Chain A
Amino acid sequence: MSTPGASPSSITTGDTTPPARLLLVEDDRFLRKAAEVVLRRQGFEVVTAEDGEGGLAVARESHPALILLDLIMPRMPGYEVIQHLKQDPATADIPVIVMSNLGQEADVRQAIDAGAIAYVVKSNVALHDLADRVHAVLEGRRG
């Protein structure tokens, strides 16, 4: 069992690049916990925030490689968080994957228009698939 907060344990490739840091902004503590554990197990460093403002603050402090962002949250909804991120040159380039249980076309369009690079409906995706999406995005960026 991996210990939360410990350094990632699953670097098996032997390369010396540090694990990619992900920011997970999610207000539901069960979801936050499960996603955090599974993503860590997948080799990511995970920092978390439990509302929109917190997420924005952590993004500015910790410069994550990618942000997983919920939409419906207390203290600033996800859409607004994206706008703030995109307005700030320090955070504008961080890719944002929106993960929400809203799933109508209008919701997706609004998130993509705001600057998200992908949109996942949480209930329809397993955490392993989510981890694969994150890898794909980061590799795309690197390549």
Chain B
Amino acid sequence: MSAPLPIPASETPPSSLSVEPVPVLAADDDPVSRRILRQALRKWGYRPVLCANGADALERLLAADGPRVALLDWEMPGVDGIEVIRLVRARTPAMSHYLLLLTGRADNADLVRGLDAGADDYLAKPFDLEVLRARISVGARLMSLQRALGRRMHDLAQAEARYRELVEGVGVAVWQADTTSWQLSFLNRHGEHVIGHPHARCLAAADLWSAHALPDDWPRLLEFRQRLIERGEAPPIEYQLRRADRSVAWLRDTVRLVTGGDGTPQVRGVTQDVTAQKLAEAEREAALRMQASFVSFASHQLRTPLTGISWTLEMAEHEDGVPPAAAEGIALARAAASRLIVLVNDLLDSARLESGRIEMARAPLDLGRVTTGALTSIRPMAERAGHDLVVEAPAAPVAVLADERYLHECLVNLLSNAVKYTPAGGRITVRLDARERVARWSVTDNGIGIPPAGLARLFTKFYRAANAESLETEGTGLGLYMVQLIVTRLNGRVWCESALGEGSTFFVELPLAPAE
């Protein structure tokens, strides 16, 4: 039985910043005490939860969203305060509730009993309401900290779970090993599927790699380890490993050096199964090789009879006593054979450029020199057509990083187009200049020009503009396509400006070589 409490005289709001009033449970079998406690709690800014007996208090305290701070009268019929405390402590995690025992018993033995049962504090009746307020405030603050901590722990647990999911779920092996024995000290559960040996055996193996990596890859793995230890890092390594089921997997290890708890260097690694990628890569390689070798074989097979025709005609052309009409026929046939050879060569070159398997040098190269070389090649053809060839180029070298042979081919291509598609006696100008960061070539003619509809498709394979098609001039429809393939490959761009009947200008821009 508890004595009635005095009505609170002064009140200060609790230091809590929470908008929602914190619930505080007060259990007392005396209605007057309950009323006083209710008033006091409300004044102090809490939400009072009143209970007349221990069983009710216990139920509310054990509810998931029940009060976490409680004032419990020791002396209650049925389940008393001590019993409530004992049961709450037994059924909830430590520190989940702040339980304050209120009692008229005041000797030390009782105090010890109360605290032993799990009370956080003890207040002897009659007590000063200010003291009670201060105690509740401590309890509320403690519980608020506890809740914050709980949330943090929960977040952490979630993060941990997410991390685990990541580690276990993305299909990689995550492991740690020491750099001397290379025995694993840790391996994620999923790791056994990547490595292909049971988890326990992975951890038990003295050196997983020396036991299962294919002998051909072992020297590379040793180099990789040595490099890692010497330099503290090593680029990822791909190797083959024999799995427990005798199949061979391609694995890729990405590792870094860390310091273990005992101060020894440790390797932390992630192993991916890259078998599928490797197989796809190999298939692609094989397909490209096959295409390349097919192109190479086909071109050889086509060129040989063409050479036969060409050489035999050349032989016949210079025989003594060939009638003029026959000589003319032979010359025409030779020209036709040459065109066929050009077509075959262009097809071969473009197929190789398309496959990307062509080796293109990236050496510093003066475009002035390439210009001179291309002009030398084209001059006889231009002179036959009675064209003027004009060059405008700076005296200083214009250096790019490129392959001379291919750039020569590009410029010769543009120049021969200019020669072919310009009526006799035309003017063809080659300009070379270095701009900011790019070198620019332009080839301008005053020829037939390109119809607007043709401009957009000019650089596509086998395309020939309508007016070029009707002109009786050789052309495979591959020249500009190849120019575009080469220039693009060298990180440059090519385009054309043209007016029908007035002429065309082709531009090629290439990145300048970085200054020394």
A interface residues with partner B (beta carbon < 8 Å): 1, 28, 30-31, 33-35, 37-38, 41, 72, 100-105, 121-124, 126-128
Q: Which of B304, B315, B348 contacts A34 (CB 8 A)?
A: B315
Q: Which B residues between 282 and 325 are near A, CB-CB below 8 angstroms?
A: 296, 299-300, 303-308, 310-312, 314-315, 318-321
Q: Secondary structure of the B side of the interface? A: helix
B interface residues with partner A (beta carbon < 8 Å): 296, 299-300, 303-308, 310-312, 314-315, 318-321, 341, 344-345, 348, 352, 359
Q: Which of A72, A105, A123 contacts B310 (CB 8 A)?
A: A123
B314 lies within 8 A of A30 (CB): no
A-B contact pairs, 14 of them (CB 8 A): A1-B319, A28-B308, A30-B311, A33-B312, A35-B311, A72-B300, A101-B304, A104-B352, A122-B307, A123-B303, A123-B304, A123-B307, A124-B345, A127-B314
Shortest CB distance B420–A (Å): 19
Q: Secondary structure of the A side of the interface? A: helix
A102 lies within 8 A of B300 (CB): yes
In the bound complex, how far is the Cα of B320 from the Cα of A37, in angstroms? 13
Q: Given the known inter-chain contacts A1-B319, A30-B308, A34-B308, please indicate yes or no for A104 contacting B314, CB distance below 8 A.
A: no
Return chain A residues, CB-CB under 8 Å to B308: 28, 30-31, 34
In the bound complex, how far is the Cα of B307 from the Cα of A33, in angstroms? 12
Return chain B residues, CB-CB under 8 Å to A121: 303
Return chain A residues, CB-CB under 8 Å to B299: 101, 103
B320 lies within 8 A of A1 (CB): yes
In the bound complex, how far is the Cα of B320 from the Cα of A56, in angstroms? 34
Q: Which of A72, A101, A128 contacts B314 (CB 8 A)?
A: A128
A38 lies within 8 A of B296 (CB): no
Report the nearest A residue to B296, measured CB to CB: A104
A30 lies within 8 A of B312 (CB): yes
Return chain A residues, CB-CB under 8 Å to B303: 101, 121-123
A127 lies within 8 A of B311 (CB): yes
Return chain B residues, CB-CB under 8 Å to A28: 304, 307-308
Return chain A residues, CB-CB under 8 Å to B341: 123-124
B344 lies within 8 A of A38 (CB): no
Report the nearest A residue to B312, measured CB to CB: A34
Report the nearest B residue to A38, measured CB to CB: B315
In the bound complex, how far is the Cα of B311 from the Cα of A38, in angstroms? 9
A102 lies within 8 A of B311 (CB): no
In the bound complex, how far is the Cα of B304 from the Cα of A100, in angstroms? 9
Shortest CB distance A27–B (Å): 10
A101 lies within 8 A of B311 (CB): no
Listed from nearest, the 10 A-B pairs whose CB atoms lie closest are: A34-B311, A30-B308, A101-B303, A123-B303, A34-B315, A122-B307, A123-B307, A123-B341, A101-B300, A34-B312
> Which of B308, B318, B344 neighbours the largest number of chain A CB atoms within 10 Å of its CB?
B308
B315 lies within 8 A of A37 (CB): yes
Return chain B residues, CB-CB under 8 Å to A124: 341, 345
Return chain B residues, CB-CB under 8 Å to A37: 315
Q: Given the known inter-chain contacts A1-B320, A104-B352, A105-B359, please indicate yes or no for A123 contacting B314, CB distance below 8 A.
A: no
A102 lies within 8 A of B304 (CB): no
Return chain A residues, CB-CB under 8 Å to B315: 33-34, 37-38, 127
Return chain A residues, CB-CB under 8 Å to B311: 30-31, 34-35, 38, 122, 126-127
Please name 7 further chain A to chain B contacts, defined as beta carbons within 8 Å, in addition to the given A34-B308, A103-B345, sorted by A numbering: A30-B305, A30-B308, A38-B318, A101-B300, A102-B300, A103-B299, A122-B304
Report the nearest A residue to B321, measured CB to CB: A1
Return chain B residues, CB-CB under 8 Å to A123: 303-304, 306-307, 310, 341, 344-345
Shortest CB distance B412–A (Å): 14
Return chain A residues, CB-CB under 8 Å to B306: 123
Return chain B residues, CB-CB under 8 Å to A1: 319-321
In the bound complex, how far is the Cα of B318 from the Cα of A1, in angstroms? 9
Q: Which of A31, A105, A127 contacts B304 (CB 8 A)?
A: A31
In the bound complex, how far is the Cα of B312 from the Cα of A126, in angstroms? 10
Return chain B residues, CB-CB under 8 Å to A105: 359
Report the nearest B residue to A122, measured CB to CB: B307
> Which of B318, B320, B352 neighbours the largest number of chain A CB atoms within 10 Å of its CB?
B318
In the bound complex, how far is the Cα of B316 from the Cα of A34, in angstroms? 9
Return chain B residues, CB-CB under 8 Å to A101: 299-300, 303-304, 307
Shortest CB distance A88–B (Å): 29
B307 lies within 8 A of A31 (CB): yes
Return chain A residues, CB-CB under 8 Å to B312: 30, 33-34
